[in-house]
Structure 1
């Protein structure tokens, strides 16, 4: 029976996660991480095949763009309008990243923006204070500690539009099946292509476990690193920063300062050399006629948001 008791923070959460799926949260956060730690010595010992690498890279790009373009810029912030097939495809692709069902993800992120780096933010690294010990504890909390909290952000408050969408409801409810396909599907493909159990195992290891772990920690770094260190060329009411090192693996999400200054913008990386793969993907969808009403940043808007010369560039 589902535990529906109000969580301690009843103004943000309407229920607690059932113990069984909560165990899977631990499993899918910890097991892929162990695989990631083991990846380097194992690769040195028995190698990484081109099939494993291709499956891992392909699934990484599809699932990460599903999160960055779909869960984040589209579902959470409405940076563009999408036709029905694209909307469903983005919800499915984002679910393959195994970062949680679409409604949970969106509700958490909208709450993050409503209370960024303040009381109520589900994953601020500044939660415990500014001392070195507090920031170490805060980094762990922002990076992945927060996902182990059983309380679930109230979807009726933070994601009522998705609750009313029957297509998204089906994708949300199908998260378990999509997770199984995402993690174990590569092993099936590897086994069929190589016609061996070893080929199935290596594809499962690299394109299933390791790929999920890498995507998890890149995504979580936006919550932790991109609120602790980096540049702040735009004015935001929180401590969000730009971290260039994460730009490519995060698909442009690490240009996080502009995103918090202008959350509905379809492009986060606007400066010279600021690679934003997600924005390029949205541009492609726009050209294909699958997306419209795209909220591209304008020079006037960026000038208004730019930090004043007398303001510090970093927190």
Structure 2
């Protein structure tokens, strides 16, 4: 299956333009300050997530905090799934410029890294999925149980601390050429600050108290970011290790139903790897895919067009002839 990433890669294969301006801070290598920032963005929200249960038991969580957490979670989640993934990485649909910029900003507010770097890593992942060269395959160290446990940790989080291997000029030249998208990617730190600041600002103004601002920051910023991080990373780790595989793909991608709602439809991962440019991942009866639903609404509003909806024939052509398997 030839994907958009393959086309872009082949177009640059003859010679990479290393003189092009880097699209993200730090260029092709993650400098020490970026490593520290990454560690901070991961560990602080994760510690908040660990503290969430005992703190909720002790002093509860208000409807305002819960509402801010849910709203900000799905704002960032759909920014990643619809924007960073289905649109920018795979070209599952075309978007008018206001929607394109909005999706870039929404995805940036998920605090998962700059747009260009995210897309470049993911296009490389599809080119080498679960094979040598894949930035985050859980099968990197082998197929024995100890190797898989090590691989799951690598795919879930450790790969982000490895020296940067993905060339942004090679895997995301189309994004780098767009000045607006390049600017959104370069300003990732500001979108992160905005993302973390909105909940305490709203919480403080609604309650007119510093305590309201603090609890909103705890739930709507820290816990929300940690939860979204681990759900997203689970697509890299869990969905490439277990799950049903009713469709033909050249890797070990699987469908994990219990992640569908939290991942906005991304955990129907087997179909995605069987048909990467499809705008819908949950194509079977009962498979919830909120990202596909929103893309449909964007299409009806005239904001999105040329959407690559999977036809029945296209879906059937990718089915396995034998019963679906689970790892």
What band does the TM-score fall into relative to the shorter chain?
over 0.9
Q: Note the aligned Cα RMSD (angstroms).
A: 1.1
For residue 177 of structure 2, what is the aligned residue in structure 1? 164
Unaligned runs of 5+ in 1: 1-13
Partner of 1:104: 117
Unaligned runs of 5+ in 2: 1-26
1:306 — aligned with what? 319
The corresponding residue for 2:241 is 228
Mapped to 2, the partners of 1:184 and 1:37 lie a distance apart of 21
Q: Which residue of 2 aligns with 1:130?
A: 143
Q: 2:85 aligns with which of 72, 79, 94?
A: 72
Please point out which of 231, 235, 240 is paired with 1:218. Answer: 231
Establish whether residue 264 from structure 1 lines up as the match of residue 268 from structure 2. Answer: no
Deviation of the 1:234 alpha carbon: 0.1
The whole-number CA distance in structure 2 between the counterparts of 1:24 and 1:265 is 34
Superposition TM-score, scaled by structure 1 size: 0.94
Structure 1 Cα separation of the partners of residues 165 and 42 of structure 2: 17
- Matched with 2:37 is 24
CA shift for structure 1 position 201: 0.7
1:143 is matched with 156
Kept in 1, the 8 Å contact 2:69–2:220? The answer is yes
Q: If the length of structure 2 is used for normalisation, what is the TM-score?
A: 0.90
- 1:274 is displaced (CA, Å) by 0.4
Q: How far apart, in 2, do the equivalents of 1:123 and 1:34 lie?
A: 24
Residues 240-271 of structure 1: CA deviation (Å, up to 9, x unaligned) = 00000001000000000000000000000010
> 4+ residue runs of structure 1 moved beyond 6 angstroms?
none
Task: Say whether residues 1:86 and 2:99 are aligned partners.
Answer: yes
Q: Distance in 1 between matches of 2:185 and 2:83?
A: 13
Partner of 1:182: 195
Distance 2:183 2:48 in 1: 31
Q: Distance in 2 between matches of 1:288 and 1:312?
A: 37
Q: 1:296 — aligned with what?
A: 309
Distance in 1 (CA, whole Å) between partners of 2:229 and 2:80 is 11
Structure 1, residues 141-196: CA drift from partner, whole Å, max 9, x if none? 11111111231510111000000011101111111011011113211221122121
Aligned to 1:38: 51
1:17–1:152 CA contact under 8 A, matched in 2: no
2:130 corresponds in structure 1 to 117
Q: Distance in 1 between matches of 2:140 and 2:105?
A: 32
Where 2:102 maps in the other structure, the secondary structure is helix
Indicate yes or no: 2:250 matched with 1:237. yes
